[in-house]
Structure 1
Amino acid sequence: MFTLIYLTTLGWNLGIIALISWDSCVHTPMHIFLSNLSLVDFGYSSAITPNVMTGLLIGNKVISYNGCATQLFFFVALATIENFPLASMAYEHHAAVCEPLHYSTTITSTICAYLVSGACICGFLTSSIGNMFSFSFCRSNIVHHFFYDISPLLVLSCSDIHITESEFFILGSLNAFFPFLVIFTSYFLIFITILKIHSVKGHQKAFSTSAIHLTAVSIFYGTIIFMYFQPSSSHSMDIDKMVSVFYPWSSPC
């Protein structure tokens, strides 16, 4: 099942990137953000899924320390980056629906390049700053999770993790809250604008451009909030394992 979902994810995202690259008619800001999101989703899923499938298929559930660190680095970086294309797409939808006459001056290729570059910088900078492999592990070497995530690894550390937990919470809050605020504000203004449209076709067109994006946003932020923004006392590794299945393979949305 995971193999099928993963192959669907790869085909979907690589297909989107190829179509947008080959067809010059769709070299628009919206499609630039979409291809960037597909590229991030491709890397995001590929950082986790192949190793998980190897463990499930051949029973090899062992990974080296450096392999674990590398996987976690790219997982955190790409998960952080994904926040920003989602926010950029919401902002682009807002400009298209609420300010169509100023769209060409508001959303330019230069602004798109800045947004994409800024997202990559924030992602890899966050992953570098929040390096949890700077402290020691002296407990069990069995990670109670499908892959190498922050919470199950912190459990295995014998160092003082309170400062590290605070760092991850602050970094995660900054990188998730600001894009989420942009998304929420953009769609709030979009819905207000839609309510002012008297045409039924206008309503349908406006909603159709936002429905898929809102679905992806809901799955992405819903799992992140549940996994990383709960009190430590409420955490259950078994439940976290089940919820974590949704976001490495949520890219087809």
Structure 2
Amino acid sequence: MNTVMQLFFVGVPRAAVIWSILLGLSILAIAGLHLVGPRAPKRPGVRAKLRAARARQQERVASAAELVRYADEVGIAAQRAEATARRRHDAWLAAQESAEKAWSAFESADLTASRMSAAALLPTPTTPQTPQEYADRERWLHRAVMAACAHNLLSLMDLNDALAHRNGWDPRRHPVEQEAILRRAIRDTLRTAERTTARAERTAWESAESAAAAAHSLRAEARAAKERADAVRHLVRPETVAGAARRQHRLRAAVARQGV
């Protein structure tokens, strides 16, 4: 009996120590599992965030620079279109003036031709039928047609016909009849000139209208582009803006040298 009790009192402390050690190891293992167990996904670090933010900022700056560049270019294009529209408008005014002068010259020539045709219906004065008289008539005709051609009242073809005495030009006719023929030829020449200048005036007007429409469209686009560029111009580096301003100044100077 004593032996059994002795073994009991000796074994219990040893078992307690062993269980204490096992319990401590279990606690350490559980704590280690908590520490080494699955972790939440890693979040981006500060550097990655900075790089992403920097990339987005660079994209905004590049987009802003592109808007500023486009606004400058379309502004220059609008200035050139306006200069072209002014030149074509001036050309149309000049063509209109030429057409009005041509019409006025034709009206005057038509009135004179009508009067001379009416006068040619009257009996012609009697003149001696001598070689000297016919020579004088021929000289009168030659001087009259050459003077009219020198003042652009007759074409070179009419002048050649008159000097060659063909196509109705007869130096033997009385000067009154020759004057009527000459005035009709001048009227026909000026009618052709008037029609030519009228066509040129219409062409110049259409060109001026087309240029004005293009300039109006570009002005509207330039205003819209400037508004978009002004909204983001602060994102562009000052040296970039200054460089764009210098380029714009050079382009304006080039346009001015072309006659703006």
* Higher RCO by CA contacts (8 Å cutoff, separation 6 or greater): 2
Q: Which has the higher helix share?
A: 2
Q: Rg: which structure is higher?
A: 2
Same-fold call, TM > 0.5? no
TM-score, normalised via structure 2 length: 0.23
TM-score, normalised via structure 1 length: 0.24
